[in-house]
Amino acid sequence: MRAFFYYFYKKYIMRQFVFVSLFFLFNITIGFSQSETKPVVDSLFREDQFYVSIAYNFIQKKPDNFNQYSFSTGLSAGFLRDFPISENRHWAIAPGIGYSYNDLKQTIDLSAVTENPDFELVKSRIILHYVDLPLEIRWRNATPDSHKFWRIHGGFMASYLINGKFKYEGGLTGSENINDILNKFQYATYLTFGFNTWNAYIHYGLNPYFDKDKTAAENNMTTLKIGLMFYIL
């Protein structure tokens, strides 16, 4: 009989010990889970962004004896500061500053003004460097905890000429600084749209590159740029 009570007592104690242990383990687990730091969501998020673009320059309103060849590169890079204007922060305006480089490649047909076959066709490049001041209005379906979203940005850009060169090769080869016959300011409208980092980019020049009062012949050449815009948060 004593052995039976001892066995029953031992089994009862073990069961109580297991129950108490599980109870404490459960409470400790709950305590740790409640004390874990939850991620703080920034309800005042901005989409400040660095941007980089690469585009092809389609020369518009070019003189009759000019013909575009090869890839006329357009590159730009800069930074935009985001200022949300709606409560859900889907709408914003963004001023910025940047740099752009344009390499306009064309052949010039001089057969109408020379009989020398070496000078009839000249390959040329107009290389332009600008400081850009973009201002855009933005729509995006962004959320505070994700950087992947759809966007549409449209804007206006003023660009100040840093340097312009005209390079040529054919019967003669050389280069000339053409700052004095270029408009110091360029104005353009542009549109970007896409998802996450990859976005289509369209940029249309509003005024000619050349100052009409400083060129011998009228030249209203502008460009339409089409390419890709990359935004980096």
Per-residue confidence (pLDDT) for residue 127, from 0 to 100: 95
- Integer CA distances (angstroms), 179 to 39, 139, 172, 215, in order: 54, 38, 21, 12
Per-residue confidence (pLDDT) for residue 108, from 0 to 100: 77
> CA-based angle 48:198:196, to the nearest 5?
55
Kindly report the average pLDDT of the chain as a whole number: 80
**Position 70, amino acid:** S
- Residue 141 has which token pair? 């379906």
pTM flag (> 0.85) = no
Sign of the Cα torsion 2, 5, 7, 13 reads negative
- Tokens 């730009």 label which residue? 76
Per-residue confidence (pLDDT) for residue 3, from 0 to 100: 47
Among candidates 133, 129, 188, which has minimal Cα distance to 161? 129
Does residue 144 carry a pLDDT above 90?
A: no
Domain boundaries, the chain: 1-28, 49-232
Burial class (CB in 10 A: 0-12, 13-18, 19+), 146: exposed
In which region does residue 7 sit, left (phi positive, over 0), alpha (psi from -120 to 50) or beta (all else)?
alpha
Query: In the 8-state DSSP scheme, what is residue 7?
Result: H
Among candidates 189, 233, 180, which has minimal Cα distance to 211? 180
Q: How confident is the model at residue 62 (pLDDT cuts 50, 70, 90)?
A: confident
- Residue 72 has which token pair? 């006329």
Please tell me which residue, 112 or 127, carries the higher pLDDT value: 127
Per-residue confidence (pLDDT) for residue 4, from 0 to 100: 42
30-39, 94-103, 195-204, 210-219: lowest mean pLDDT where?
30-39
- Residue 13 has which token pair? 């104690």
pLDDT in tens, 39-54: 444 556 677 789 999 9
Q: How confident is the model at residue 222 (pLDDT cuts 50, 70, 90)?
A: very high
Could you tell me where the beta strands, DSSP code E, fall in the chain?
A: 49-60, 66-68, 73-80, 83-84, 91-109, 121-140, 150-169, 174-177, 185-195, 198-205, 222-232
Per-residue confidence (pLDDT) for residue 185, from 0 to 100: 96
Q: How far apart are CA 233 and CA 230, in angstroms?
A: 10
Per-residue confidence (pLDDT) for residue 171, from 0 to 100: 67
Q: How far apart are CA 57 and CA 125, in angstroms?
A: 12
Q: How far apart are CA 129 and CA 131, in angstroms?
A: 7
Does residue 154 carry a pLDDT above 90?
A: yes
Q: Bridge-partner residues for 75, per DSSP? A: 54, 101
Q: Does domain 49-232 have CATH number 1.20.1180?
A: no
Per-residue confidence (pLDDT) for residue 94, from 0 to 100: 95
Does residue 8 carry a pLDDT above 50?
A: no
Q: How far apart are CA 152 and CA 178, in angstroms?
A: 36
- Residue 212 has which token pair? 């009409």
Does residue 156 carry a pLDDT above 60?
A: yes
